[in-house]
Structures are given as C-alpha cells and as structure tokens.
Structure 1
Amino acid sequence: MGLAILVAAKVVHRYLSVAQEFWALALVALGMGAAWLADFNLFEAWGLAVRNDTIGIILTGFLIAGASYFWREVLYFFAGVARKFTDEAKTIEKTEQLRRVA
C-alpha cells in the first residue's frame, strides 16, 4: 500500500516540486486517507490492543506514509545507480559521432 501511495503522490508531482517538505506532508495525508478509506487497522490485524479503533487507523496511516517515503528513497537510489552505470554523455557522443574536446 505504501508503494501505491507513492505512485499517487508522483501523479501530483508537479504541485509537490515547489518545496521538498511537502512530500512528507502529502505522503502522510495520502497514507492516512488510504487507511481511513480502507478502514484498515494494522494493530488489530496484529492482535495488539489499541484504546480506540480510530487511533489505530491513524497510526496505520502514519506507517503507510513511512513505507511510501521509504519506497521513494529506495527507488531514487536505484535510479542513481542506473544513471551511474549508463553514462548518458558517452551514449550521446557515440550516437552523434562527436569527439571529446577536453
């Protein structure tokens, strides 16, 4: 569910690119909204007693948001590794028949 929340946040990336701080806020809001819409209480599924069912759903939303933030960092890591191994400058030089100047 965290990966799905990240995908939903990527859809509105244009609005979130203004400030990086909005990413965490948007992921928390989407995570809490998804947990509330699904009426999903992870603590109840684990058999842990929570005082109020609403509190369990809210905390589940925070956990989903944390999972989606984790997925965001993992995907950025793999994108960076892919960029490192596929040097775009060398690819352009080969396809355009360019010589190295420096």
Structure 2
Amino acid sequence: MADDTTDIESPTRREYVKYGGTVLSAGLLAGCTGDAERGTGSAPTEAVTETDTTTADGSYSVSMSPMGAVTFDSPPETVFTRLTHHADMALALGRGDTVTAMHAP
C-alpha cells in the first residue's frame, strides 16, 4: 500500500492563535499610535453645509449642495417623509406635528 502522507502540512491551532494574536496586537497598536490631535474635552463641532437666511418679509433661503440656494415664503405646513428617520429629524427640529405621512413606517 502506498504511503498516504502528503508533504504539505496544514497550520495547527497553536499557529492560528499565535499569528492571529500578532495581527490583533499590531492592529491595536496601529490604532493607538495615530497622529491625530486630541480635543480639549468639549463636545465635537459638526461642519454644517446648510445655511438659512431670513429676510424682513419673513421668507428665508436655504443653500444645500448640489441644489444651491432655494427661497421659501414660510416653513412647510405638511411633510411627507420617505423613511422613519426623516420623521425623527422633523421631530428633532420641532416640526413633528407637520408630518402627515410616511412611505415606509
């Protein structure tokens, strides 16, 4: 009978643990040695790309990329939202009572 052994050895569990631990440790060290500057401990500020401008007649304009500037006479009276998190946004902005329908509640 022929010898059924092969010349290719598969890795053992010890090798998996050893090399996996090495990769995990290297990943943790790489995350800890970043060049990012630390904040002062205050809440992070978010960059806002939208601007609101109110004029004397009560209308306001909103600038959003890629649309540009759009002028409104008054806030919307009713709102149809596409998803539930859009309704949450309206609620957070104090306009939750204007949401009349949702596409995917």
TM-score, normalised by the number of residues in structure 2? 0.29
Structure with bigger strand share is: 2
Structure with bigger helix share is: 1
Greater RCO, 1 or 2 (C-alpha within 8 Å, sep 6+)? 1
Point out the structure with max Rg over C-alpha. 2
